[in-house]
Amino acid sequence: MTPGPSTIEKLKIETYNFSKHSIEDREKIICGLKISEKLSHLHLSTIKKSGIDNVVPLITCGRVEFIYLADKFIGFDGFDRLDGWNAFSHLVKVASGISTLVLGETQITNQLKRAFFEARKNGLCDGRMIGILSEVLRISKIVRTKMQLHPVSFSSIVKKKAEEIIGDLSDKTLFVIGTGAVAHDVFRVAKNFSKIIIYSRSPQKASQIAKEIEKHLKVKTEYVSSIKEGVENSDVIVTATDHPGYLINNEHIDGIRKKIVLIDLSIPRNISPDIANDNIFLFNVDTMISKDKNLEKLEESEKYIKAEIEKLKIRLNENKEVQEIASLNEEFREIIYEHLKKYTDIDEDEIVKISKSLSKKLLSRFFAKFREKSLLSSN
């Protein structure tokens, strides 16, 4: 479904993201969203009271965003606000890996898709929002191609950071806490290690995933029922869960004498920032990623996005004109049909045929006269 110009003009985004807010600030916002799917009763209630029936909540380690259709903003405290084509442009930048924690990030694209389709499934939005998503993904793909952005995933960042700290990983063990989408992405680097250990609150799920990894990646894999056991037997540890608190703290690393890299991809964080051990190298989603911005790339992306949006505007306006013509044709046909039906004894099938034929001829003559007047006025 292609969105109409009026739909995009009503698009609103309220965002609280990494570009302006620290990981500590984002934690407070996310922890405030207390129910499942991280969308609180408070926010849903506020949205419904505002008369909004089209909303997509997007919550990731880098951002909390409410994407919706409305005439005015809801006004969440502390959130930045974007509307209309600026909001649409923002979504393109996110999907294309421009406005992300790291330039070229690909994980966010899947997270964006999942957020829209989950909202659709749960009755929070209709086909208009899916139409917006389709155009966002289409343009973001063009932008990625034109800019020749190399795909960057959490798994590649984990591998790079681990190699920076401890060098060759072929004789090291990777411990992953979590079995969700981000954890699955991290599993892709398992082949660079000699062994991978998995922990989940569901031993059955961890066991099943361990078997699949060993089968497909040909890497020795096991699962543990104790986080401390996993920490003690690992060299690189990655947490990627939605657990609302610390899973690793000083008691887990007490007495460790070897070099260990801890990477916390969770928000709220799963590893205590107060861990004190000279052998431990701790990173979270903000500290593991360089904050240096490639200004030249960003400016280049702005030009591509602006050009593609202008093309979309033209296409949507053309579609609007086509729809208006079709509506006018239908109106002519109905008027002719009603009059023939009322004032003649012509057969029903013949009335339908005559109505269609006459409406097209009238519409054609109408636009011929319109074009003629336009030419005369321009001269």
Question: What are the DSSP calls for 270-328, one per residue?
Answer: SB-TT---TTEEEEETTTTS-----HHHHHHHHHHHHHHHHHHHHHHHHHHHHHHHHHH
Q: With 80 as the cut, is the pLDDT of residue 344 above it?
A: yes
> Which superfamily does 154-284 belong to?
NAD(P)-binding Rossmann-like Domain (3.40.50.720)
Mean pLDDT along residues 342-362: 81
φ, ψ of residue 353 to 5 degrees: the values are: -65, -45
Per residue in 56-66, pLDDT tens? 999 888 899 99
Q: What are phi and psi of 122, to 5 degrees?
A: -90, 5
Question: Residue 359: which H helix or E strand, with range?
Answer: helix 348-378
Better-scored residue on pLDDT, 85 or 344? 85
pLDDT at 40 over 90: no
As a whole number, the mean pLDDT across the chain is: 84
Residue 35: pLDDT above 50?
no
What value does the mean pLDDT take over residues 313-335?
Answer: 70
pLDDT score at 151: 80
pLDDT at position 349 is 81
Q: Where are the domains of the chain?
A: 5-151, 154-284
CATH of 5-151, one of 3.30.460.30, 3.10.28.10, 3.40.50.150, 3.60.21.10: 3.30.460.30
Q: What is the pLDDT of residue 173?
A: 95
Q: What is the mean pLDDT of residues 74-89?
A: 93
Tell me if 193 sits within 8 A of 226, measured CB to CB: no
In this predicted structure, the answer to whether residue 14 has a pLDDT above a threshold of 90 is yes
Pairing of strands 11-17, 80-83: antiparallel
Beta strands in the chain (DSSP E): 11-17, 55-59, 63-69, 80-83, 173-177, 195-199, 220-223, 236-239, 260-264, 280-284
pLDDT at 257: 84
Cα–chain center distance at 204:
30
* pLDDT, tens only, 170-200: 999 999 998 888 888 899 899 999 999 999 8
Residue 28 confidence class, pLDDT cut points 50, 70, 90: confident
Alpha carbons 361 and 40: distance in angstroms, whole number: 57
Q: Which residues, 6 or more positions from 23, have their beta carbon under 8 angstroms from its beta carbon?
A: 267, 269, 284, 285, 286
